[in-house]
Each structure stands twice: as C-alpha cells, then as structure tokens.
Amino acid sequence: MNAIWYFDFISPFAYLQLPRIRELAQHHPITPRPIVLAALLRHHGQLGPAEIPGKREFTYRMAQWTAETSGVVLRFPPAHPFNPLPALRLAIACGSSWQAITTIFRHIWLRGLAGDDARSLAGVADDFGIVDIETAIAAAAVKEELRANTEEAIAAGVFGVPTLHFGNCLIWGNDATPMFEKMLADRDYFERGEYARIE
C-alpha cells in the first residue's frame, strides 16, 4: 500500500524527518506531496506555532535540540516564518522528485539560506536545468498542482506537517515516525486492543 508524505518547506520538522522517510521509501512506496501549511491552518481555524508567542521560541528550541540530538545539521533560514510558495512551486516544477525536494530542504535548513523568492532559489533551479525560474514557478499548471495537493490533504483530514497518510491513518510529526514504521511491520497494530477502544 502506498503512503503519501505531506510536507511544507516552512517546517523544520519535515526537514528533520526527510532522511528517515527517504530510507523507508527505498523499501516501501512513499509519494512526497508538497502542500501549503498556511492553507491547512486556515481551514482548521488555527495559528501556526511561530505565530504564538512562547510557543514560537519553544518550537525553534525543540527543532534545534532534535537536530543536535539526532546528529543532523540544522541552520534556520534568515527569516521564519517565511513565504514557502516559491520553494513549493519549484519542487513541483522539478516533478516533485525526492532529489529536488531534498536539495530545496538542504538549501533552506542545512545551509540556512532564504527560499522565499525566485532569486534566492535560482541556484537550486539551475541544478535541475530550470533556467527561467520565475516563469517555471508562475506556470498555471504548477500553481494548480500545489492547490490540488493542498485540497487533497484537507480532504484527507491532514492538520499539520509533516504528515504521513497510510491507509486510513494520519501520522503527524517527525517524532511519530516510529509509529509509521510499526504500521509497516504490522498493518493493523493501531486498530487493536486499547487503540481500538480509545478511538
């Protein structure tokens, strides 16, 4: 059964989850799907963590701590939150390939560079043979695919990123990755016993 990995480049936790997801994708079909977190939050009437004083600082600290304790290099971009639409559209213009997605994540979260406009992402686009990035990310088909991806996520009940959609189950957050791994080994694990009762 195929899994869908919903993500937005604005999330450091999606960046932190990416290496393990790519490892799992070598043995199980996982489709990466760029979506707009802000649209998800609007749909659910929620603020993002970075929009809530106190929660913002804790979230940043938690992301940095998680990276350090996991041995992952993480460097925040110059501004956060930032407008992720150019990066999301560039990923789609590159076919939403794992390689393109990884390169964009590393540009923003490994190198700590801006990814909020065409100019800041021009080097990444070059790596994938896109000479005119502004035209590529402004293409109607690219915008429509991002909109459709986001609407699909909302229809599936996704409420945050990163989220894995596997069967009827939504697995939200980097720290929930082991739950997905358990489901790969035992498909019905979370439908039995106490899990069934609490649901």
- Across residues 97-107, what is the average pLDDT? 98
Mean pLDDT of the chain: 97
Q: What is the pLDDT of residues 78-89, one digit of tens each?
A: 999 999 999 999
Which CATH number fits the domain that encloses residue 190? 3.40.30.10
Residue 1's pLDDT is: 80
pLDDT at 199 > cutoff 90: no
Count of the separate structural domains present in the chain: 1
Question: Over the stretch 7-55, which tens digit does the pLDDT of each residue have?
Answer: 999 999 999 999 999 999 999 999 999 999 999 999 999 999 999 999 9
Model pTM score: 0.97
Give strand ranges (E) for the chain: 3-7, 30-34, 163-166, 169-172
Residues 6+ apart with CB under 8 A from 11: 37, 161, 162
pLDDT tens digits, one per residue of 143-156: 999 999 999 999 99
Residue 168, domain extent: 3-198
What pLDDT is stored for residue 192 in this prediction?
Answer: 94
